[in-house]
Chain A
Amino acid sequence: MFYRSHVLVCTGSNCNIKGCQGITEALRRELTRLSLEQEVRLVETGCLGLCEHGPALVVYPEGVMYVRLTAADVAEVAEEHLLKGRLVPRLLQPTATVDSGYSLNMSPFFSKQKRIVLKNCGLINPDSIEDYVHADGYIALATTLDTKTPTDVIDVIKKSGLRGRGGAGFPAGRKWEFTRWATGSPKYLICNADEGEPGTFKDRLILEGDPHLILEGMIIAAYAIGATKGIIYIRGEYDLSIRRMEHAIAEARKLGLLGQNILGSELEFDVEVCAGAGAYVCGEETALIESIEGNRGEPRFKPPYPAQQGLWGKPTCVNNVETLANIPAILQHGAEWYQQIGTANSPGTKVFTLTGNIINSGLIEVPMGITLREVIYEIGGGIPEGRSFKMAQTGGTSGGCLAEEHLDIPMDYDSLAGHGSSLGSGALLVMDDSHCIIDLTKCFLKFFVHESCGQCTPCREGTPALYSIIDKLSRGLATESDMRLLKRLSRTMQSSSLCALGQTAPVPVLSALVHFNEEVEAHFKGDCPTCKCHTARGGRQSAN
């Protein structure tokens, strides 16, 4: 059946919160009312990316995106655009104009992106395995099983230079290799979808938008490392991700893509979903394993690493959602193709979630090495309400605070690490000049105080101690010895905490001390330049 138009309605979680369910229903009613059901196909897709402006839909073939919709707006879009073929200018996405670039491909939000992981996200119906197969889905798996040995696969991934997208950036191929050659069976493959980093929602939207991509990545990974059992550990709050993933697994099983003799090969592999219970630390791979085993979610000491002794003491490979989402494309197009994208040490793309004081907050995928300035001002549309840029935090709450002078550094693993920050989870928090750096730091620390698992001394006792020093500073009461203690405590937490949570909790504080030194000095003297802190000289009481 052929349709004149396709209407793609975003049903990702962010639009869901804003009422996309009502939009879909209204649109369906309107199509019936206007007798357009045979001409216009309505598709419920994953995230379109412009979360800030949702609920949103795109009309193809024109590629026109309508945003901030209400049910009443939908009637107008149906009547005007779908029936009469006229644009509705007031509902177009922010940078689009009727005269020139109304197609979404011409908007910098989309044109500056490079979509590998998100290629199907917002285009296909995530609940339809047929849609995925139509979009070349499972081709990489089929050709891999036909033409490559497991070691070949590992070699391709090693050659591609793909690094783990969960935060640490460990080379994915090497991780697979360790698990492949570890003794013990069965071997487990775990997809880490316990996305707990504040301001990060990429894994959620990838899972919601293209669950089969993750499954395909996992099956290839299982083939490479020799795993027979896969677990997708999804954050418990991600109900839609869990539902769609479970549906995808059931469909894949039906078609023989999971289970025994996958696609007629010798490969045996099956996957189940495990829901997390809400602790941030369970995103750490060994805490995640403890949680699956039914224990308190606390990191294990390393070595031994999961590749040697992971789930139930067996060799286990834990990969982030986004890492696995890159696998099919790399095998389909080759390591050389992948290496050409991004930078030498950080090939490929990176999915970011833009949040904070930025016009286009939402989900984007860009080549590694793009500058902060391009992301914030071109893709992100800049800072709203005419305010100016104050700071950006990359990598989530444990990332460094970057200032104006860092806007032109390339965003990749090594450059950001060189400036005391990290790529981390892919969160990008932008703050305008109305915010106080000390107030923000307090807010970050409060998160760690709450989320420390309490197992090791430096983190359990250190996070609240660090918070109380910053609190003192915010009130203009910090002394010279407090500032020395702050640094000593931070060094100890970084060097001696059991896991990355405690090791990185001081990062935002330390980067603020360096990059926003003047503001820190002002607080030390009892002044809060942005009047956010209740300092000794007055000013507003902080919300934290």
Chain B
Amino acid sequence: MLIDVTIDNVCVQVPTGSSLLQAAEKAGIKIPTLCYHPDQSLKAVCRVCVVEIEGQRLLQPACTYPVFQGMQVRTNSPSVREARQTIVELMLSSHPQDCLKCPRNLNCELQSLTQQLNITQSPFPTLPREYQSDSSTFSLIRNPNKCLNCRRCVEACLDVQEIGILYSTGRGKQTIVGTALGQDLNELPCVFCGQCLQACPVGAITEVDETERVWEAIADPRKHVLVQTAPAIRVALGEEFGMPAGAIVTGKLVAALRRLGFDRIYDTDFTADLTIIEEGNELLERLQHGGTLPMITSCSPGWIKFIEHTFPDLLPHLSTCKSPQQMFGALAKTYYAKKVAIDPQDIVVVSIMPCTAKKFEAERPDMRSSGFKDVDIVLTTRELARMLKQSGIQWNDLKEDTYDTPLGISTGAGAIFGATGGVMEAALRTVYEVVTGQELEDIDFKSVRGMDGIKEAQVELGGNVIRVGVAHGLKQARKLMEDIASGTSPYHFIEIMCCPGGCIGGGGQPIPTTNATRQRRIAATYQVDKEMPVRKSHQNEAVSTLYEEFLKRPLGFKSHELLHTHYTKR
């Protein structure tokens, strides 16, 4: 049923149950908001969106207030303007005014709001808070002094990921989002996924910035600096330079990295293909020899830390394969070093990742199988963008470039690792052909694609039906784990990605990352796949060469030494 609402003298019709915010949008008015997040539940705590409804004494938040027939609303009356302005001024009174030095400068919702409301001074004295910043982890820095108590991070942690480390503590003016007993993140089962950071409207949660270390490595003439780029970077980096979400910028990405001074520009997609060979063979091995099933993918470091904390008894279900990032590092300092005759000590491996947990993964003690730290520095998509801006390289002027060989050669199967369901699809393309010896007619496994929380598919492999499940976001992952724990899981093989949408929706991606941007990045990811000349990992010639020259065979001795790992109960 449609309802007539008049907003600032504009009549609109909206469906029953719409909020005033939605009705206003239809009337061509963007009511300012702060605690509102398009993917989250309604909170109505910031009160920035209050409007005047005729016949009501109080102003009402547009985000939650439902429309009713004949409603007359004013969004710019003197009382609304006064309240809105006073509320934002109050926010400013406890927010540090160090915008110029803030990582979120020019991409900050409080800044935009202040500007939108034309607030040029605040009558309230600024009373700075003195909370300790938490920089206890390799991934995230929490500065509660900047917190506006919008609670979007709380929802990301509690409802999206179902971890619940962040919540409101204290009361009155001392109310602040914090942790149990004020513990640091490294003392808690935080998985460093950075979804809290993605939800934060300001700079209260940021990634650990390691760009300086990269500049230093590039500038050091003794160092041979390799860079690998994750599949999800090429469909997101453009947003940092004003391009629409889902713009594919692979060529410009490579060109930019070369201009920055990296010695070789390589692709994590290459080791994604390698992962498929190792993991696919591991699955077949488990299927044929009664190994622990279902087997679960192990590419996503936030997911790994989650299962280590939450379901330590299910660790044997994890594939022992390292993530593509770590496989790359291990090979770079062994296979590649030997091939180009450079002392691995002088090789620096930098990865560009959509992920804050990858910074933690690179620091795991078992990620040194080359004899050195396999991956030296991990940058997020945002950090790379900052380096590019610092360098003065003009994004728009960049000519497209291509990855170096051999570690830059990849297939469409590697590319789709960036989207939820991608690893599963890539694995099925390969496993099917390896087992049956027949060519797969339709290589698009559409049932495992998209933003549904849990997806599943069945494939017939040489007379046996293989059931696979895909989950993204830890809330969904927990459901599949509980099924395994209770013995009711129907699957043989499960793909889990920590972040909603998979890596394209990771905590290291451009801000904002919403479900709408996730959808576009996913669409772009499958576009990349479609345009690749080779779309199956086992047809990657560089991977075949790697086996011939170095690894000899999947799951062989070298593979186990360099490409597989073990997990820790936490």
Interface residues of A (CB under 8 A from B): 279, 296, 298, 301, 303, 449-458, 460-465, 468, 481, 485, 488-489, 491-492, 494-498, 503
Contact of A457 among B59, B87, B123, B170 (CB under 8 A): B87
**Contact between A461 and B91 (Cβ–Cβ < 8 Å)?**
yes
Interface residues of B (CB under 8 A from A): 42-48, 50, 58-59, 61, 64-66, 79, 82-83, 86-87, 90-91, 93-94, 123-125, 127, 148-149, 167-168, 170-175
The chain B residue sitting closest to A463, CB to CB, is B172
**Contact between B47 and A498 (Cβ–Cβ < 8 Å)?**
yes
Contact of B83 among A303, A460, A463, A491 (CB under 8 A): A491
Interchain CA distance A301-B20 in the complex, whole Å: 14
Interchain CA distance A495-B83 in the complex, whole Å: 8
Interchain CA distance A457-B88 in the complex, whole Å: 9
The chain B residue sitting closest to A469, CB to CB, is B124
**Contact between B87 and A496 (Cβ–Cβ < 8 Å)?**
yes
Interchain CA distance A461-B44 in the complex, whole Å: 16
Interchain CA distance A503-B58 in the complex, whole Å: 9
Contacts of B61 in A (CB 8 A): 301
Number of A-B contacts (CB under 8 A): 104
Contacts of B91 in A (CB 8 A): 457, 461
Contacts of A489 in B (CB 8 A): 86
Interchain CA distance A491-B81 in the complex, whole Å: 12
Given A454-B172, A457-B87, A495-B59, 11 further pairs, Cβ under 8 A: A301-B61, A303-B65, A454-B175, A455-B149, A456-B45, A457-B46, A457-B48, A461-B91, A461-B124, A464-B127, A489-B86
Interchain CA distance A270-B220 in the complex, whole Å: 77
Interchain CA distance A462-B175 in the complex, whole Å: 13
**Contact between A461 and B173 (Cβ–Cβ < 8 Å)?**
yes
B457 to nearest A CB, angstroms?
35
Interchain CA distance A457-B175 in the complex, whole Å: 11
B96 to nearest A CB, angstroms?
14
**Contact between B50 and A495 (Cβ–Cβ < 8 Å)?**
yes
Contact of A451 among B42, B86, B90, B172 (CB under 8 A): B172
The chain B residue sitting closest to A455, CB to CB, is B45
Contacts of B148 in A (CB 8 A): 457
**Contact between B58 and A453 (Cβ–Cβ < 8 Å)?**
no
**Contact between B173 and A454 (Cβ–Cβ < 8 Å)?**
yes
The chain A residue sitting closest to B64, CB to CB, is A301
The chain A residue sitting closest to B175, CB to CB, is A454
Given contacts A301-B44, A449-B172, contact A461 B83 (CB under 8 A): no
**Contact between B171 and A303 (Cβ–Cβ < 8 Å)?**
no
Name, among B64, B83, B172, the residue most crowded by chain A CB atoms within 10 Å (CB to CB): B172
The chain B residue sitting closest to A304, CB to CB, is B66
**Contact between B171 and A461 (Cβ–Cβ < 8 Å)?**
no
A-B contact pairs, 25 of them (CB 8 A): A296-B167, A298-B168, A450-B172, A452-B171, A452-B173, A453-B175, A454-B149, A454-B173, A456-B47, A457-B48, A458-B90, A461-B93, A461-B94, A462-B90, A463-B173, A464-B172, A485-B123, A489-B86, A491-B83, A492-B87, A495-B58, A495-B59, A496-B58, A496-B83, A498-B45
Contact of B125 among A452, A457, A468, A496 (CB under 8 A): A468
**Contact between B47 and A296 (Cβ–Cβ < 8 Å)?**
no
**Contact between B58 and A458 (Cβ–Cβ < 8 Å)?**
no
**Contact between A488 and B47 (Cβ–Cβ < 8 Å)?**
no
Name, among B64, B86, B127, the residue most crowded by chain A CB atoms within 10 Å (CB to CB): B86
B110 to nearest A CB, angstroms?
12
**Contact between A452 and B87 (Cβ–Cβ < 8 Å)?**
no
